[in-house]
């Protein structure tokens, strides 16, 4: 499963992904990207992969196409770092963890409220200080 949140700001359009970028979920992201491309104009496209746990080969190819079209990738795990390195071909730039954003902060608060649930407890990593990287 893949959740896609869109944040349309003054300078950028941000895709915040959470889950797995495989099979039919890759197609959802691709369709969202195609649709969003019509409103991008001079905005920067940012693809936040901080909460993505798995990407298949087709997902990697999609991210490569998005990166080639100018998308900036954001990662927070070794797995996604390897994907972004392969896709972008260059070294990352660290981002201050305080720039994690309101979604990460909200997720942290929500997971603390639901600590009894194994599923939500597995998401508790959202509460730790993430070392985000920009590719």
pLDDT in tens, 119-128: 444 444 445 5
In 3D space, the residue among 73, 50, 53, 76 whose CA is nearest the CA of residue 62 turns out to be 73
Q: Among residues of the chain, what percentage have pLDDT more than 70?
A: 73
Q: What is the pTM (predicted TM-score) of this model?
A: 0.72
Confidence of residue 19 (pLDDT cuts 50, 70, 90): very high
> Taking all residues of the chain, what is their mean pLDDT, rounded to a whole number?
80
What is the pLDDT, as a whole number, of residue 45? 93
Whether the per-residue pLDDT at 108 is higher than 50: the answer is yes
Judging by DSSP bridges, how do beta strands 2-8 and 12-21 pair with one another? antiparallel
Domain boundaries, the chain: 2-98+130-134
Which CATH number describes the domain made up of 2-98+130-134? 3.30.750.24
* Rounded CA separation 81/57 (Å): 15
For 54-98, how does the pLDDT look when each residue is reduced to its tens digit (9 = 90+)?
A: 999 999 999 999 999 989 999 988 889 899 999 988 877 887 654
């Amino acid at each position: 499963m893949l959740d896609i949140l869109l944040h349309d700001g003054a300078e950028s359009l941000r895709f915040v992904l959470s889950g797995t970028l495989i099979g039919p979920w890759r197609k959802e992201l691709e369709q969202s990207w195609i649709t969003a491309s019509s409103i991008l104009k001079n905005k920067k496209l940012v693809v936040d992969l901080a909460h993505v746990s798995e990407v298949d080969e087709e997902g990697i190819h999609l991210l490569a196409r998005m990166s080639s079209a100018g998308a900036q990738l954001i990662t927070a795990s070794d797995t996604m770092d390897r994907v972004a390195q392969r896709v972008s071909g260059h070294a990352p730039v660290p981002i201050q963890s305080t720039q994690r954003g309101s979604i990460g902060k909200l997720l942290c608060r929500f997971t603390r409220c639901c600590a009894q649930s194994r599923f939500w407890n597995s998401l508790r990593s959202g509460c730790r200080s993430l070392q985000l990287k920009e590719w």
